[in-house]
C-alpha cells in the first residue's frame, strides 16, 4: 500500500497508467505536461507532475519547467479527488482547484484526464 503522493505512490501510479488500456488509447497522440502543487500536506507543499509523450506517461515528484498547465490544490482537496469524493470539475468551479497555463490544451485532453482517474481508481492507497 503506497502512501498518497509518496515516491512509491508515483511509481505505482506510473505502472497503473501504463497497464490501463483506456488510458493508453487516450494518450496515443498526446503530448501534455501537467504540474500539480499540493499544499497543506503533512509534509508541507508537494509538487509532482504527469508527463505524457510518445504514448507513455510518467508521474513523479518534482517540478517541470516546461509544464503546459499547473494545477494547485490543498491536500484535503487532492485526497477527496483521489478517493472520488470530490468531483474535479466542481472543485474547479468552486475554487478548490486553481489552474494556470494553457487551458485550451487541458480542455482538448479531457478524455485523457477521465481515463487517468479510472486508471488510478483501483490503486491501494494509504491516506
Is 3.30.1050.10 the CATH number for 2-120? yes
What are the helix (H) ranges across 45-120? Answer: 75-83, 88-93, 103-108, 110-120
Q: What 3-state DSSP class applies to 126?
A: strand
pLDDT in tens, 67-123: 999 999 999 999 999 998 999 889 999 999 999 999 999 999 988 988 999 999 889
Distance (Å, rounded) from C-alpha 10 to C-alpha 120? 11
CB–CB of 49/27 below 8 Å? no
What are the helix (H) ranges across the chain? Answer: 7-19, 21-26, 75-83, 88-93, 103-108, 110-120
The predicted structure's pLDDT at residue 122: 86
Grid coordinates given for 76: 484535503
pLDDT in tens, 28-77: 999 999 999 999 999 999 999 999 999 999 999 999 999 999 999 999 99
The sign of the CA dihedral 114, 119, 123, 127 is negative
Grid coordinates given for 62: 518534482
Domain residue limits, the chain: 2-120
Amino acid at each position: 500500500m503506497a502512501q498518497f503522493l509518496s515516491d512509491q505512490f508515483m511509481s505505482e501510479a506510473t505502472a497503473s497508467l501504463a497497464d490501463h488500456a483506456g488510458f493508453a488509447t487516450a494518450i496515443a497522440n498526446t503530448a501534455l505536461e501537467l504540474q500539480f502543487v499540493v499544499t497543506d500536506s503533512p509534509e508541507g507543499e508537494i509538487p509532482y507532475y504527469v508527463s505524457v509523450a510518445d504514448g507513455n506517461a510518467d508521474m513523479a515528484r518534482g517540478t517541470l519547467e516546461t509544464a503546459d498547465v499547473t494545477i494547485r490544490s490543498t491536500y484535503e482537496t487532492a485526497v477527496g479527488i483521489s478517493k472520488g469524493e470530490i468531483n474535479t470539475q466542481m472543485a474547479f468551479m468552486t475554487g478548490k482547484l486553481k489552474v494556470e497555463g494553457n487551458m485550451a490544451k487541458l480542455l482538448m485532453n479531457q478524455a485523457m484526464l477521465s481515463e487517468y482517474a479510472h486508471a488510478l481508481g483501483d490503486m491501494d492507497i494509504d491516506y
